[in-house]
């Protein structure tokens, strides 16, 4: 089969053939693909469609201003994943508690947690945004899933991925057998294999961080960033700073080109001592992807995928990307406590 004609549906079926299984996981992934197409269509016309731009005036459980597109995307993913009867529980950045599947649908073996729209502050200014998703097998036996099903360490993920809604819409996912990217061909409405077997460079030349917070970072973080901006680093010249403010967009560029993304802990907001990003539906899925592509993700002190979650919307410092860069950050964090 010519790769150019390798649609994501065919790729999922091929993965299922190698994994074995009844096809339930494939059904979950296929619904995520469907939901991504629906959100992509809405994002593409956000500037034109009636009342889809702007804020709702609400704030979500993690204190972010909720955009209308956040709410739309959230509903699309919840409805698609409820409908298929293969999911027992969900969690979303936009919902305070766990999300149960309505009684009219069967319950399945999978747990799906997602950030339905990442980078929402960029929606109204036409900058890339995304969706991030994480899939586990349930721990409980049957019926409705529970919080326990959601609070599993990242290394137990069954699959993970993200969608970036940008100049094109790209869906990148892994089921533990490497990382592949698919670009939506709007003329046929199919995601087609465009980035086979993604591997991220061991060391990059790019760093992504919001330097406005420099004065509120720990000494180790400051020392590391100063190191990147000097000619004393591995490249003997400063790294480039690229920061879009959408995690998915910054992550995707660094995954393909090499680089390190940092959202470290800071002392700006006592309510967020461990940084802004959330473990279950931002750090864990991207950590799964980056490790499958040969990179690494850390809090600066421990591997993201080893963290045993305590709360649904738990925040963690996220240092993620090219392995040598992230390991070097850990050295600075250790030496400059
Ligand atoms: P979300 O829109 O899902 O709340 O995520 C926004 C996050 C992430 O996308 C990005 O990396 C980060 O917010 C940017 O935060 P700062 O504006 O503090 O740099
Ligand atoms: Mn987000
Ligand atoms: Mn979000």
Does the global pTM surpass 0.85? Answer: yes
Q: What is the pLDDT of residues 120-154, one digit of tens each?
A: 888 888 899 999 999 999 999 999 999 999 999 99
Closest ligand 1 atom to 119 CA? 2
pLDDT of residue 49: 59
* Mutation to probe ligand 1, out of 247, 279, 319 (largest number of atoms < 8 A from CB): 247
Q: What percent of the chain has pLDDT over 90?
A: 82
Q: Are residues 167 and 226 in the same domain?
A: no
- Check residue 19 and give its pLDDT: 73
The mean per-residue pLDDT over the stretch 248-273 comes to: 95
Shared domain for 190 and 224, answered yes or no, is no
Do 138 and 261 belong to one domain? Answer: no
Query: Does position 1 have pLDDT exceeding 50, yes or no?
Result: no
Residue of 208, 243, 245, 281 best suited for mutating to test ligand 1, as the one with most atoms within 8 Å of CB: 245
Residue 250 or 5, more confident: 250
Q: Which domain holds residue 306?
A: 206-335
Same domain, 144 and 290: no
CATH number at residue 171: 3.30.540.10
Are 189 and 210 members of one domain? no
- Please state, in angstroms and rounded to a whole number, the distance separating the CA atoms of residues 164 and 214: 28
Same domain, 191 and 211: no
pLDDT tens-digit readout, 89-108: 999 999 999 999 999 999 99
147 found inside a domain: yes
Q: Closest ligand to 247 CA?
A: 1
Indicate whether 200 belongs to any domain.
Answer: no
277 and 298 in contact (C-beta within 8 Å)?
A: no
Q: Outline where the chain has alpha helix (H).
A: 8-19, 24-44, 68-83, 147-150, 219-228, 247-257, 284-292, 323-335
Q: Is 201 within the bounds of a domain? A: no
pLDDT, one tens digit per residue, over 286-300 is 999 999 999 999 999
The DSSP letter of residue 266 is: B
Least confident window among 123-132, 150-159, 206-215: 123-132
Asked if the structure places residue 277 within a domain, the reply is yes
CA angle 85–91–96, rounded 5-degree value: 130
Structure tokens at 93: 């950045």
Tens of pLDDT, residue by residue over 42-67, are 988 876 655 666 667 777 777 777 67
Q: Is residue 138 part of a domain?
A: yes
Co-location of 58 and 166 in the same domain: yes
Tens-digit pLDDT profile for residues 230-241: 999 999 999 999
Q: Does pLDDT of 314 surpass 90?
A: yes
Q: How far is the CA of 245 from the centre of ligand 2 (A)?
A: 10
Q: Are residues 43 and 123 both part of a single domain? A: yes
Specify whether 150 is located in the same domain as 216. no
Whether 281 and 160 map to the same domain: the answer is no
DSSP helix, strand, coil percent of the chain (3-state; round to 5): 35, 25, 40
Mean pLDDT of 170-196: 95
Nearest CA to ligand 1 atom 3: 118
List residues with catalytic annotation: 64, 70, 93-94, 115, 117-118, 282
Instruction: Answer yes or no: is 109 within a domain.
Output: yes
Asked which of 135, 166, 195 is the last residue of a domain, the reply is: 195
Query: How many domains would you assign to the chain?
Result: 2
Helix H or strand E segment including 76: helix 68-83
Ligand 1 centre distance from Cα of residue 259 (Å)? 18
One DSSP character per residue, 122-138 reads GGGGT--EEEEEEEEE-
Which ligand gives the minimal distance to the CA of 119? 1
280 and 225 assigned to the same domain: yes
Claim to verify: residue 181 and residue 217 sit in the same structural domain = no
Residue at a domain's end among 195, 221, 237: 195
**Collapsing DSSP states into helix, strand and coil, what is residue 292?**
helix
What CATH code is carried by the domain that includes residue 253? 3.40.190.80
Q: Does position 200 have pLDDT exceeding 60, yes or no?
A: yes
């Amino acid at each position: 089969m010519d790769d150019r004609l390798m649609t994501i549906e065919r790729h999922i079926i091929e993965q299922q053939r190698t994994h074995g299984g009844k096809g339930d996981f494939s059904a979950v992934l296929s619904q995520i693909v469907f939901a991504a197409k629906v959100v992509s269509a809405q994002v593409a016309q956000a500037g034109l469609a009636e009342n889809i731009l702007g804020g709702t005036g609400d704030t979500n459980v993690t204190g972010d201003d909720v955009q209308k597109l956040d709410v739309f995307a959230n509903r699309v993913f919840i409805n698609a994943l409820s409908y298929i009867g293969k999911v027992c529980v969900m969690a979303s950045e936009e919902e305070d508690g766990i999300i149960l599947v309505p009684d009219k649908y069967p319950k399945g073996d999978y747990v799906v947690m997602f950030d339905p729209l990442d980078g929402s502050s960029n929606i109204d200014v036409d900058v890339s945004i995304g969706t991030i998703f994480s899939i586990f097998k349930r721990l409980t036996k049957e019926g409705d899933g529970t919080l326990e099903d959601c609070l599993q360490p990242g290394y137990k993920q069954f699959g993970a991925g993200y969608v970036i809604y940008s100049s094109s819409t790209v869906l990148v996912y892994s089921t533990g057998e490497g990382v592949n990217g698919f670009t939506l061909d709007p003329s046929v409405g199919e995601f087609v294999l465009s980035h086979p077997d993604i591997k991220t460079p061991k060391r990059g030349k790019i760093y992504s961080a919001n330097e406005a917070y420099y004065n509120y970072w720990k000494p180790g973080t400051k020392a590391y960033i100063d190191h990147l901006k000097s000619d004393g680093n591995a490249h003997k010249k400063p790294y480039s700073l690229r920061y879009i403010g959408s995690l998915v967009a910054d992550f995707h560029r660094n995954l393909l080109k090499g680089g390190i993304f940092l959202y470290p802990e800071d002392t700006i907001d006592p309510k967020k001592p461990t940084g802004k990003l959330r473990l279950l539906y931002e750090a864990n899925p991207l950590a799964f992807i980056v490790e499958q592509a040969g990179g690494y993700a850390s809090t600066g002190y421990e591997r993201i995928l080893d963290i045993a979650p305590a709360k649904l919307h738990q925040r963690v410092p996220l240092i993620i990307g090219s392995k040598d860069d992230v390991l070097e950050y850990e050295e600075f964090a250790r030496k400059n406590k």
